[in-house]
């Protein structure tokens, strides 16, 4: 596994996290904070002060965190276009299902565009929410293009978590609820977060930057490491190039992270707020998934990737520079964002 240090990180330039989505989520029926589990054995083995898993395997009855962003983006979009009757989304699985669930809450129709390699289980789960599915003969980026075209039809709203549209920005705002919960559940000075198109990682960067600015007088702060598949490390490529860069994506079992380019909406916060990245193999994610299962946590490959990355951060020579950059040591209190349960 390999790591990259972001030498240009500057938390002072990162946007403040949204304060609006949290009260909205708290007022929704069935809201409750997702749990934070302590991995004491892992912390002891790696010589760290604490390792905590933020478990997103059951968020409003869905097996992933995505509904936080989708619900807030739909709320904001409908305030601007209250006559809309159909929500449109492109997805590798979890985002589409979340948009479909929100559509059902609000009495709206929903169409979801999926890449050809989306698994049958993910397709059936989205259809089970009442959405009409179109499987695109192409990759995730091709599905995004088809969704964008469909959203031009009258009465349709594209609820995208990639791009530079209002919804893409509002999705990032919606994810702040997760980090506000985590702050109430414990004190962390290092966050490992899956990347994908970067919306959740951007929310992590904003949260950590605000925490760092608030703690400046105390001489401490929070660092963020983005975790990516070795075959879809689009943030690593963007940081190396200094701009979003499209890369080939031959496929990964971490389907929710199988993305070729980071979102323009997320990029400024990623550029200035991510301290480094670690690219993990499918095999390492599978081992981490089994380890979490042994601890009683049913987490999917994308959600298990941060644990694989933490082990690499602590031990892999390819991650030594990142390890030094975030000062991983016996005082480190690490938060792993387990973004999904067993979704397929």
* 251: nearest Cα among 117, 138, 344, 144: 117
Q: What count of other Cβ atoms lies within 10 Å of the Cβ of residue 165? A: 21
**pLDDT for residue 344:** 61
Residue 302: CA atoms inside 13 Å, Cβ hemisphere, count?
A: 29
CA 289 to chain centre: 17
Output DSSP code: residue 218: G
Listing DSSP states for 249-261 in one string gives ----S-GGG--SS
Give yes or no for a contact between 338 and 58, defined as CB atoms under 8 angstroms apart: no
The residue assigned the tokens 């949204």 is: 18
As a whole number of angstroms, the distance between CA 185 and CA 129 comes to: 31
Residue 61: CA atoms inside 13 Å, Cβ hemisphere, count?
A: 8
Strand arrangement of the beta sheet that strand 109-115 belongs to: 132-136, 109-115, 86-90, 156-158
* 116: nearest Cα among 93, 145, 139: 139
Q: Which residues contact 82 (CB under 8 A, 6 or more apart)?
A: none
As a whole number of angstroms, the distance between CA 4 and CA 313 comes to: 11
84 token code pair:
């809309």
First to last CA, the chain: 25
* 276: nearest Cα among 332, 229, 232, 228: 228
**pLDDT for residue 65:** 97
Query: What is the value of pTM for the model shown?
Result: 0.95
Domain 2-64+175-338: assigned CATH number? 3.40.50.1100
As a whole number of angstroms, the distance between CA 256 and CA 196 comes to: 7
**pLDDT for residue 27:** 97
pLDDT in tens, 22-57: 999 999 999 999 999 999 999 999 999 999 999 999
The total number of residues written for the chain in this structure: 344
Listing DSSP states for 53-78 in one string gives EEE-S-BTTBSBTTHHHHHHHHHHHH
303 token code pair:
């959600």
As a whole number of angstroms, the distance between CA 143 and CA 113 comes to: 5
As a whole number of angstroms, the distance between CA 74 and CA 106 comes to: 9
**pLDDT for residue 29:** 95
pLDDT in tens, 164-189: 999 999 999 999 999 999 999 999 99
As a whole number of angstroms, the distance between CA 151 and CA 280 comes to: 35
**pLDDT for residue 214:** 87
**pLDDT for residue 1:** 80
Name residues of the chain where pLDDT drops below 70: 217-219, 344
pLDDT in tens, 210-230: 999 988 755 578 999 999 999
Listing DSSP states for 146-168 in one string gives HHHHHTTSTTEEE--SSSSSHHH
| Residue range(s) occupied by CATH 3.40.50.1100 in the chain | 2-64+175-338, 67-171
Domain 67-171 has CATH 3.40.50.300: no
Residue 141's H or E segment, with its range, is helix 140-150
Q: Which residues contact 164 (CB under 8 A, 6 or more apart)?
A: 263, 264, 265
């Amino acid at each position: 596994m390999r790591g990259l240090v972001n030498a240009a990180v500057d938390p002072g330039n990162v946007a403040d996290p949204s304060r609006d989505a949290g009260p909205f989520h708290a007022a929704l029926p069935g809201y409750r904070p997702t749990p934070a589990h302590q991995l004491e054995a892992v912390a002891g083995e790696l010589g760290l002060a604490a390792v905590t898993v933020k478990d997103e395997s059951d968020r409003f009855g869905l097996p992933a965190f995505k509904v936080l962003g989708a619900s807030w983006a739909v709320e904001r979009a409908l305030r601007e276009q209250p006559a809309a009757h159909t929500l449109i989304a492109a997805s590798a699985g979890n985002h589409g299902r979340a948009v479909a669930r929100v559509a059902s809450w609000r009495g709206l129709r929903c169409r979801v565009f999926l890449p050809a390699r989306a698994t049958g289980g993910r397709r059936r789960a989205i259809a089970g929410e009442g959405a009409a599915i179109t499987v695109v003969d192409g990759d995730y980026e091709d599905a995004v293009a088809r969704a964008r075209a469909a959203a031009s039809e009258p009465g349709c709203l594209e609820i995208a978590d990639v791009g530079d549209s209002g919804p893409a920005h509002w999705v990032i705002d919606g994810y702040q609820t997760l980090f506000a919960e985590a702050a109430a559940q414990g004190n962390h000075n290092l966050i490992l977060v899956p990347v994908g198109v970067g919306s959740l990682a951007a929310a992590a960067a904003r949260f950590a930057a605000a925490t760092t600015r608030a703690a400046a007088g105390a001489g401490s702060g929070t660092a963020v490491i983005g975790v990516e598949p070795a075959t879809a490390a689009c943030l690593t490529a963007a940081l190396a190039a200094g701009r979003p860069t499209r890369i080939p994506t031959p496929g990964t079992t971490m389907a929710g992270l199988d993305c070729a380019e980071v979102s323009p909406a997320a990029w400024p916060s990623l550029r200035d707020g991510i301290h480094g990245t670690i690219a993990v193999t499918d095999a390492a994610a599978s081992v981490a998934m089994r380890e979490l299962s042994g601890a009683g946590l049913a987490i999917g490959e994308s959600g298990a990737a941060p644990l694989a990355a933490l082990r690499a951060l602590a031990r892999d020579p390819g991650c030594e520079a990142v390890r030094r950059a975030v000062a991983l040591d016996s005082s480190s209190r690490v938060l792993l964002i387990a973004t999904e349960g067993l979704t397929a």
